[in-house]
Amino acid sequence: MSAFPSRALSEWFRRDHRRLPWRETYDPYRVWVSEVMLQQTQVETVLPYYDRFLDRFPTVEALAAASEDAVLAAWSGLGYYSRARNLRNAARRVVADHGAHVPDDHERLIALPGIGRYMAGAILSIAYNRPFPVVDGNVRRVLSRLHGWPEPKERTLWDTAAAVARAGEPRVMNQAMMELGATVCTPNAPRCGECPLRRRCEARKTGAQAEIPLPRKRPPTVRVDLHAVLDRNRNGYLMREDRGLWEFPMLTDPPGDGFLHLGHCRHAITHHRVEVDVYRGALGRRKGYRRVRFDAVPVTSLTRKIHALAETPPNQR
Ligand code: SF4
């Protein structure tokens, strides 16, 4: 990797990186929160949540002291709620076992809930400037094209990324690779003319950018049909709690006569496509359900979509 153009890459990053709030600090807790939010979620979606979450829980102690309900409420709408639960549980461990200091060694970090190899590498390199690799989808694409590997093995990618992290200042090298993949070496139509790696890039030399890397095989999408019922009276909606988040009754069959069909919404989660028909009507008492005020409880974005249908005038649904 001695030929790796680390200088060109770091100069490009220092000059051209997007100014994002989590890049204004190397505070380990803030770096950690941003990385958890950015897993499986786009930058634009994360932006408003990041500041709000840190206003609410400005330190690892504040997060550790918060109730799970409060953390889920602040996460409400970001999706993948196990991330929020793990983050809070890990914060409690950091306070209890590490004196509120986010560990700066791999072994202790990776032992915390929700922290895997990528997350440990991101925290160690970005917050502590230690030469640990990161491989996310962006880094995978850049490395694959740079070396002309259509289907690289995970091991090869991590070893190569480790050499990149060591080729310069780790926090700059790793962030630069991720940023390059997000903004220049994009899946479609990479802008090779602006790329600091262009002189060494195998895919560019052979014009094979579109074929590298080959898409990874994903499990086929599974369609799930559900029927949500909005049953509201003066005490609120009929809802139930599932691991800290509240949801409307979801039936596998239509509720039948006496229910007004309000519309349809769709939601994608991992490899499921959930198709939901939404109805209004009275279900009556149901085991495990109770009346709650919608605005007072944390909900998933699917539940929010379903609720929005009830609030939308019929001619705009
Ligand atoms: S030269 Fe093009 S294909 Fe190669 S790393 Fe840069 S943007 Fe990606």
* DSSP symbol at 142: H
DSSP SS3 for 81: coil
Specify if 261 maps to a domain: yes
pLDDT digits (tens, 9 = 90+) for 198-228: 999 999 999 999 999 998 788 889 999 999 9
Would residue 254 count as lying in a domain? Answer: yes
Q: Is residue 310 part of a domain?
A: yes
The model's pLDDT over 123-153, given as tens digits with 9 standing for 90+, comes to: 999 999 999 999 999 999 999 999 999 999 9
Ligand 1 pocket member 197 (CB < 6 A): yes
Bridge-partner residues for 227, per DSSP? Answer: 251, 277
In a domain, 268, yes or no: yes
Q: Is residue 16 part of a domain?
A: no
Which of 192, 194, 206, 211 has most ligand 1 atoms within 8 Å of its beta carbon, as the pocket-test mutant?
192
Distance 196 CA to ligand 1 centre (A): 8
Q: From ligand 1's centre to the CA of 140, what distance in Å?
A: 12
**Residue 300, number of CB atoms within 10 A of its CB:** 22
Per-residue pLDDT at 1 exceeds 60: no
Extended beta strands in the chain, E state: 222-230, 232-233, 236-242, 245-247, 250-251, 260-269, 272-280, 290-292
Which of 144, 204, 205, 206 best tests ligand 1's pocket when mutated (most atoms within 8 Å of CB)? Answer: 204
Q: Is residue 260 included in any domain, yes or no?
A: yes
**Residue 179 is a catalytic residue:** no
Evaluate if pTM is beyond 0.85.
no
Structural domain span for residue 250: 222-316
209 lines ligand 1 (CB under 6 A): yes
Ligand 1 centroid to residue 165 C-alpha, Å = 18
- CA 190 to ligand 1 centroid distance, Å: 6
Q: Which of 24, 35, 154, 241 is catalytic?
A: 35
Confirm whether 248 is domain-assigned: yes
pLDDT tens-place string over residues 250-267: 999 999 889 999 999 999
**Domain harbouring 308, CATH code:** 3.90.79.10
Burial 227-256 (b: 16+ CB within 10 A, else e): bbbbbbeeebbbbbeeebbbbbbbbeeebe
The residue whose CA is least distant from atom 8 of ligand 1 is: 185
As for how many domains the chain has, the answer is 1
Asked, for residue 276, whether it belongs to a domain, the answer is yes
